Amino acid sequence: MAVRNEKLEAARLQRRWSVEVASAKVGISVNTFNRWERGLQIPQLDTLDRLCNAFNMTPEELGFGDAIVSKRRTQVVPPGQEQPHTYRDAPENSFSHLADSDEIDLLSDLARGHEHYHSQGERDHQAQEFSRREAMTLLVGTPSAIFGLTQESDCSLLHPQEIIALCEVNVPLCWQLYFEGGFTEVGQILPGYISQLTVIAQQPSLYQKKAASLVSQVYQLSYLLAIQRQDFGTALSHTSQAITYSQLAEDRELRVAALMRQAYVYFCLGRISSRMQTYREALHHSPGSSALIRGYLYAGLAETHAVRRETQEASYYLDLAYQTFPTRPEDDPTFSFTRFHWSTLYTFDGQVQLHLDQLDRAWEAFTKVDQSVPQGLVPLRTEVTVHQAATTLAMNELEQCCALLEQAATSTLALGSRLRYDQAAMIYEHALEKWGHEPCIKRLAPLFQ
């Protein structure tokens, strides 16, 4: 079983380097560096040299002392003319004694084969993920297509209970697809769900409350898409509809979730007082809600107080959030329409610390998010990259800030998140004011034009 390389991870975190920055310094891919830290792979001998040089540490200090069985290939030089080690204070026994050339060649070939194996495995994994996303899109799109036929024919092809049964299965899949980066697919599908569910929700029947519950979820998902486009007027309208239908469904937890999402729209609009008022309304309705809902609510209140520089209140609610948040969020009954994870809580924690100028704590919190969120074009990955860029800007970490801004710009554009892109652009403007003469800042200009 793979054992995580805690020494390598600790060395990276001590320097406040993200995985992206560390891998760039060594000259390898992010995935390769991740595999080193997870104990799934060891560096080739020449790559190990570059790693030691980048960290100015020995192989033992980086957790590879026991893994390497051969000394790196060097040129034999006469006694007294040895070249100094390129990494800090490397002891004479950094590697085992020099192996013969056949053994070194074999080890090198094995290392290359190991690298190829993982590269192929990554490609297979990416192909599986792509196929899975296509399958999910097909599943959630089929009911929407049927709903479209219903509208065109002016007659119902499905009974209300059949529509409800389809939506109960597919609406949670829509949430999953959104959080895996399927913004376009979800945006095309949701109007069909809204059109059918609202008809049932507005008419007294056995299915009215269930339809109202589902359409409230769909409006909350629609809000997320509008937020990513920075269409705040539409986002506010969607949250209002979500609140209305949650009341019709008599679902306290849906109502609290919708209110918290409305509070975020107010934050984006710079209406901090309205945000606080909305959170307080959510707090009023929260007794009896699940631990996940309440934990998220307390974290939101902590961040709002931090924006207002109310340190004592921010700390109180943040502590309460950690005490309340469930150990396994995915087991919470509200997880299907919230998708709040521990990484969500860590993100709030980082934002609280950033607002209160606790930069080391902010970086620590965002690092936890960085480690727990999968690589790729997913919303939380792009969000934490933007937050890390803001933190390194405040820390005066020029090189790291530039690397994170570049990553943020490219990933937010690829994902289609105007919200996160504009946040990254704002950070870039501040970086430009601070370091406008630096070459790495100048190189970023085309990304933010």
pLDDT in tens, 65-94: 865 544 443 333 444 444 444 444 433 333
The string of DSSP codes covering 388-433 is HHHHHHHTT-HHHHHHHHHHHHHHHHHHT-HHHHHHHHHHHHHHHH
Name every residue whose Cβ is closer than 8 Å to that of residue 241 and which is 6 or more positions away in sequence.
215, 216, 219
Work out the average pLDDT over 255-283: 96
**Residue 424's closest CA among 412, 436, 414, 441?**
412
Q: What is the pLDDT of residue 149?
A: 55
pLDDT-based confidence at residue 308 (cuts at 50, 70, 90):
very high
> Residues 224, 225, 227, 232: what is their CA dihedral angle, to the nearest 10 degrees?
-110
Amino acid identity of residue 155, one-letter, is C
196-222 pLDDT per residue, tens: 899 999 999 999 999 999 999 999 999
Under a CB-based contact definition with an 8 Å cutoff, are residues 345 and 322 in contact?
yes
Angle between helices 160-179 and 379-394 (to 10 degrees): 30
What is the Cα–Cα distance from 230 to 268, expressed in whole angstroms? 9
Question: C-alpha angle with apex 426: 422 to 432, nearest 5 degrees?
Answer: 135
What's the pLDDT at 138? 77
Given a cut of 60, whether residue 420 has pLDDT beyond it is yes
What would the pLDDT profile of 245-267 be if each residue is shown by its tens digit?
Answer: 999 999 999 999 999 999 999 99
Q: Does domain 6-99 have CATH number 1.10.3720.10?
A: no
More confident site: 125 or 245: 245
Mean pLDDT of 276-289: 96
What rounded mean pLDDT belongs to the chain? 83
**Section 389-413 average pLDDT:** 94
Specify the amino acid at residue 88.
R
Range scoring the smallest mean pLDDT among 3-12, 41-50, 276-285: 41-50
Q: Which of 6-15, 361-370, 426-435 has the lowest mean pLDDT?
A: 6-15
Percent of the chain's residues with pLDDT above 90? 56
Q: pLDDT category, 286, cuts 50, 70, 90?
A: very high
| Among the ranges given (82-91, 319-328, 427-436), the one the predictor scored with the smallest mean pLDDT | 82-91
- Binned at pLDDT 50, 70 and 90, residue 276 comes out as very high
Query: Residue 184's pLDDT band (boundaries 50, 70, 90)?
Result: confident
Q: How many other C-beta atoms are found inside a 10 Å radius of the C-beta of residue 30?
A: 16
126 pLDDT tier (thresholds 50, 70, 90)? very low
Q: Identify the band that residue 24 occupies on the pLDDT scale cut at 50, 70 and 90.
A: confident
Q: Mean pLDDT, to the nearest integer, of 358-386?
A: 90
Task: Taking residues 165-194, report their average pLDDT.
Answer: 90
C-alpha span between 269 and 233 (Å, rounded) = 10
Q: Which residues contact 104 (CB under 8 A, 6 or more apart)?
A: 45, 70, 73
**All structural domains of the chain with their residue ranges:** 6-99, 282-332+339-367, 378-449
Mean pLDDT across the stretch 357-386? Answer: 90
Q: 60, 41, 62: which is closest to 51 by C-alpha?
A: 62
Which residues neighbour 164 within 8 Å (Cβ) at sequence distance 6 or greater?
200, 207, 210, 211, 214
14 by Cβ neighbours in 10 Å (0-12 / 13-18 / 19+) ranks as exposed
pTM of the model: 0.70
Dihedral-angle region of residue 396 (phi above 0 means left; psi in -120 to 50 means alpha; beta otherwise): left
pLDDT at 16: 79
Give the pLDDT mean for 131-147.
72
pLDDT at position 375? 76
